[in-house]
């Protein structure tokens, strides 16, 4: 699986949009981009995933660049409960593992 690079930490003001970047410059054509988050001392929670088109669900939006070398997870109106570690994961179709790196620690500031 392609490696991903994320900033170790970010802050965002409550009520603003949180934009979390992820670089996956070696991604190949059959690899998906997944996002999970982990609130302190809890199990990770699936957020969203995509292949090449932008995706949106009730939690977030995923914007994937045209060359697929990077993506951005957008939380449109961040709340204090969005404070968590966010993991960007690239997974090959049919591959057996989700590889979790160290992620981005997002802190929502009141």
**Site residues (CB under 8 A) for other proteins?**
41-46, 49, 87, 91, 94-103
d(CA 75, CA 39): 15
Q: Which is nearer to other proteins, 41 or 53 (CB)?
A: 41
Q: Which is nearer to other proteins, 71 or 87 (CB)?
A: 87
d(CA 13, CA 78): 7
Q: What are the residues whose beta carbons fall under 8 Å from the beta carbon of 72, sequence distance 6 or more? A: 19, 20, 21, 22, 62, 63
**Least Cβ distance, residue 13 to other proteins (angstroms):** 25
**Least Cβ distance, residue 91 to other proteins (angstroms):** 7
**Least Cβ distance, residue 38 to other proteins (angstroms):** 8
**Least Cβ distance, residue 21 to other proteins (angstroms):** 18
Q: Which is nearer to other proteins, 10 or 14 (CB)?
A: 10
Q: Which is nearer to other proteins, 24 or 87 (CB)?
A: 87
d(CA 5, CA 109): 24
Taking a C-beta distance cutoff of 8 angstroms, is the pair 6, 99 a contact?
Answer: no
């Amino acid at each position: 699986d392609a490696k991903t690079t994320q900033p170790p930490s970010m802050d965002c003001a409550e009520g603003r949009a949180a934009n979390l970047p992820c670089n996956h410059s070696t991604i190949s054509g059959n690899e998906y981009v997944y996002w999970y988050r982990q609130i302190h001392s809890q199990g990770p929670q699936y957020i969203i995933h995509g292949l090449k088109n932008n995706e949106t669900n009730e939690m977030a939006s995923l914007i994937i660049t045209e060359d697929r070398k990077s993506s951005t997870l957008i939380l449109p109106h961040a709340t204090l409960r969005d404070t968590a570690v966010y993991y960007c994961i690239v997974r090959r179709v049919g591959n057996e593992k989700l590889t979790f790196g160290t992620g981005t620690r997002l802190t929502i500031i009141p």
